[in-house]
Structure 1
Amino acid sequence: MEIQTEEAVVKLILHGGNVRKEAYTAIDAAENYQFKDAEHHLHLAEEEFKKGHVWQTKLVALRQEQVHPNAPSFLLIHGQDHIMTAQAELNLAKRIIHQYQVQAELEERISALEYQQNSQKKS
């Protein structure tokens, strides 16, 4: 199957956008302490990134075959920027979700301590 530069770039943009959507959905879930849901959306984001990376590899191979492989087009730069920005946002989403997990654990510990303290006062 022969691919064209424009097709590969559109796929980069598509999958990059999907990565970002899933990463932000994961953050939204984590914000509500729905960590299983957050993990699910992170997994979907990772899968989309892998698909985008496949197209990125195809694009690099295609560019090597062209007469002027070092002459990037605006569309090519835009597509590459999309997938790399999506990867950075996915990594950031993972860190944010981890912080929400820590926060949830601390809130549980505080609640348990408050309950324990209130129980001791009543005794």
Structure 2
Amino acid sequence: MAQEDNMQVVMGIIMEAGNAKAAAMQAITAAKAGDFDKADEFVKQANKDLVNAHNVQTDMLTKEAQGDHVKVDLYMVHAQDHLMTAITFIDLAKEIVELYKKVADKD
């Protein structure tokens, strides 16, 4: 994989993972304010962004499997770190939204 293509993959993963994490944070904020419909929409958006990040990653993995070696450098490690952090953050955001819903139901 050419260096320019590699950077495009890296930036794609970082951008989509960042969007996913931001949407998850907005979901928490909306749930905290009691707007659960909006929170659910933000969770859906976070999941869509996460799928986009996974698709970029899958394209990279497919190229690697086809013999087009992907250079693993600090940029790629950084991108993968963003993706894994976003996945974890979304999982926690879903739980936090559910907790806010339960608290609201008890009031």
TM-score between both structures, scaled by the size of structure 2:
0.90
Alpha carbon RMSD of aligned pairs, Å? 1.7
Deviations 1:41-80 (A, max 9, x none): 001100000000000111122334235x5x6210111111
Partner of 1:16: 17
Conserved? CA contact 1:9–1:59, under 8 Å:
no
Conserved? CA contact 1:49–1:87, under 8 Å:
yes
Partner of 1:85: 85
Larger Rg: 1
TM-score between both structures, scaled by the size of structure 1:
0.79
Partner of 2:106: 106
1:21-32 pair list within 5 angstroms: 21-32=22-33
The ranges of structure 1 where at least 4 consecutive aligned residues each deviate by more than 3 angstroms after the TM superposition are: none
Partner of 1:46: 47
Q: Can you give the 5+ residue segments of structure 2 that lack an aligned partner in the other structure? A: none
> What is the DSSP-based 3-state SS (H/G/I as helix, E as strand, rest coil) of the residue aligned with 2:19?
helix
Alpha-carbon separation, structure 1, partners of 2:84 and 2:61: 14
Larger relative contact order (Cα-Cα within 8 Å, sequence gap ≥ 6):
2
Conserved? CA contact 1:13–1:83, under 8 Å:
yes
Alpha-carbon separation, structure 2, partners of 1:63 and 1:101: 44
Aligned residues: 104
Partner of 1:66: 68
Alpha-carbon separation, structure 1, partners of 2:34 and 2:40: 11
Shift in Å at residue 8 of structure 1? 0.7
> What is the DSSP-based 3-state SS (H/G/I as helix, E as strand, rest coil) of the residue aligned with 1:4?
helix
Partner of 1:113: none
Partner of 2:34: 33
Alpha-carbon separation, structure 1, partners of 2:48 and 2:91: 14
Matched letter for residue 66 of structure 1? D
Q: Can you give the 5+ residue segments of structure 1 that lack an aligned partner in the other structure? A: 108-123
Alpha-carbon separation, structure 1, partners of 2:57 and 2:18: 14
